[in-house]
């Protein structure tokens, strides 16, 4: 089965930004602007929640949709995947501190 990495998905979204194509859905989102992209993120997030309550097939499908729209958002805001990886990296080794806190568990 063919697979696509998050990096490739991001690169594709960046490519569309730099070289727009008329029939591209990605370019349709950039043209509509940030509020449209944010609305899609909201919709797709809700669909992930609903999918998780149904079947793993739906959860996988909706997660792929959400990841695509998240990549479009990051490109629109000039945030790179390295920015995200740096943030995630800075959290490594913090588990013990998180677990010491009792108030995050409700």
Ligand X SMILES: N=c1c2ncn([C@@H]3O[C@H](COP(=O)(O)OP(=O)(O)OP(=O)(O)O)[C@@H](O)[C@H]3O)c2ncn1[C@@H]1O[C@H](COP(=O)(O)O)[C@@H](O)[C@H]1O
Residues 70, 76: Cα–Cα separation, whole Å:
10
d(CA 77, CA 60): 26
Q: Which region among 24-32, 53-61, 80-88, 94-102 touches ligand X (by CB under 6 A)?
A: 24-32
Answer for which of 12, 59, 61, 76 binds ligand X (CB under 6 A) is: 12
Using CB under 6 A, which residues numbered 33 to 72 contact ligand X? 40, 65, 68
Check residue 80 and give left, alpha or beta (phi > 0: left; psi -120 to 50: alpha).
Answer: beta
Is position 10 an interface residue for ligand X (rule: CB under 6 A)?
no
Identity of the residue, 52 or 89, whose beta carbon is nearer to ligand X in the bound complex: 52
Determine which residue in the list 16, 30, 51, 62 makes contact with ligand X, applying CB under 6 A.
Answer: 16
- The H-assigned helical ranges of 19-94 are 25-32, 34-54, 56-76, 81-90
- Residues of this chain that interact with ligand X (CB under 6 A) are 12, 16, 21, 24-26, 40, 65, 68
């Amino acid at each position: 089965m063919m697979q696509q990495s998050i990096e490739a998905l991001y690169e594709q979204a960046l490519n569309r930004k730099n070289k727009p194509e008329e029939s591209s859905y990605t370019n349709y989102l950039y043209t509509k602007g940030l509020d449209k992209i944010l609305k899609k993120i909201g919709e797709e997030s809700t669909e992930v929640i609903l999918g998780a309550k149904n079947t793993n097939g739906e959860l996988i499908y909706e997660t792929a949709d959400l990841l695509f729209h998240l990549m479009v958002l990051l490109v629109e805001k000039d945030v790179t995947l390295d920015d995200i990886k740096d943030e995630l990296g800075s959290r490594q080794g913090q588990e013990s501190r998180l677990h010491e806190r009792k108030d995050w568990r409700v």
